[in-house]
Amino acid sequence: MEQWVKRTQRDYTLAFKLAVVDQVERGELTYRQAHERYGIQGASTVLVWLRKHGRQDWKAASSRGKGLQKMPESPKLLTPEQRIKELEVQLKEAREKAAFFEAVVNVLKRDYGVQVNKKACGQVLTQKLVKGLSVTRACRYMGISRQAHYKRLVCQRARSERDKAVVELASEERRHQPRIGTRKLLHLLKPPLEQAGIQIGRDALFIVLRQARMLVLPRHAYHKTTNSHHHYRRHPNLLKEGPTKTVASGCEQLWVADITYLPTKEKTAYLSLVTDAYSRKIVGWHVHDSLETKQVSQALKMALRQRRTDQPLVHHSDRGVQYCSAQYQRIHARNRITCSMTDGYDCYQNALAERVNGILKMEYLLQRPADLSQARTMVGESVRLYNERRPHLSLKYKTPDAIHRASLANQLGLEISRE
């Protein structure tokens, strides 16, 4: 269905490479099975990834010897009388087994309301589980017509082809976003599915992904990085419910910031993020190895360099010592930014920033990077995928980058018209 497209190493993200290496080293897949499952091009591509990122020694090739198989012994010949006696015993056991299973089916129907449907009958016939059983006799045993059986087979083949196409498209999207939810995945797959003439709803997609073992299991983790015990000034919460609550009507009016842990194989790193509250776009980020204010402020400086308008801006964060420090507040003063902070230890007062942290760590940063440099590469790729490819339920399944660009165009157009 898809046209073959040649891929290079740049088409595979670092997080995807590490995930494949981890699956192979845990024994879930061989490197050849990984090639087939994920559509990786190049016969030795996965081996190259294993030698570069794997924890084991993949330089030496292992060989397995093939054991000798014993020749089957020829069966002993029976006399006609022995053969007749053996067949009588088998016939008795077959009748007893048939009566037993018929009684079990009757109990299931009578006491538990279980109905033996056409699907089970078709599966037995298709897989030829009973040798010599004809379709006519099987349908007569089940009390259904041959027409119903063959109609069921046609529908089953069409559904199987549909499910196979859906799984292929979902696997291609999951190659970039391995933990994207099913509802968002359905929104992303609608254009290629409609182009292929395939119709599938939300519940059907859940069933297809469940059968293919592609549903995303939730993860829960909590780490505290906020140090609120300091002597610096704590600013009021401008997002709190009330007549003075700040509500963003466009982008670059309200930014939320937070710091989260980012473990590496060497030591713990930290990720500072600045997110636009209106568009949900990550406008600034920085990976650093310490919690110094100088390092944390790099994310805000990146966001300010990319800022397009000069409208009033509110910066909301928790009461961490980095955000309250004089060095961070001087950046606010130079750029005429109004500071807002949570008024307690409730993480829900900075829920948007916490949510973005969770999305990056639970959907994209699935593999532990080796060092700080690799962590920055993985975070850069993850932020790009989040901003440009991941749809948001709160944005009516649009991406943060699309909402941000549309809002900027609208604001800049209004400014030009006023001039």
Q: pLDDT tens across 202-231, in order?
A: 888 988 898 888 888 776 655 555 555 555
- Report residue 219 CA to chain centroid gap: 11
- pLDDT at position 331: 95
Averaged pLDDT, 69-76:
55
> 289 or 74: whose pLDDT is higher?
289
- Does residue 113 surpass a pLDDT of 90? no
Q: pLDDT digits over 321-372, tens only?
A: 899 999 999 999 999 999 999 887 667 788 899 899 989 988 888 888 999 9
Beta bridge partners of 271: 260, 287
- pLDDT at position 74: 59
- pLDDT at position 415: 58
Give one word for 154, left, alpha or beta, with left for phi > 0 and alpha for psi -120 to 50.
Answer: alpha
Angle at 250 between CA 244 and CA 251, to 5 degrees: 110
Q: Are strands 254-263 and 313-317 parallel, antiparallel or unpaired?
A: parallel
Q: pLDDT digits over 7-46, tens only?
A: 777 778 888 888 888 888 888 888 888 888 888 877 788 8
- pLDDT at position 416: 54
Chain mean pLDDT for the chain: 83
Q: pLDDT digits over 94-105, tens only?
A: 888 888 888 887
Confidence of residue 65 (pLDDT cuts 50, 70, 90): very low
Tokens found for residue 365? 């940063």
DSSP 309: -
- pLDDT at position 329: 93
Confidence of residue 244 (pLDDT cuts 50, 70, 90): confident
Strand order in the sheet with 282-288: 282-288, 268-276, 254-263, 313-317, 337-341
- pLDDT at position 67: 42
Crossing angle (nearest 10°) for helices 146-176 and 135-142: 90
Tokens found for residue 150? 């063959």
Q: Rounded to 5 degrees, what are φ and ψ at 340?
A: -135, 140
DSSP 350: G
Q: 49 by DSSP, 3-state: which? A: helix
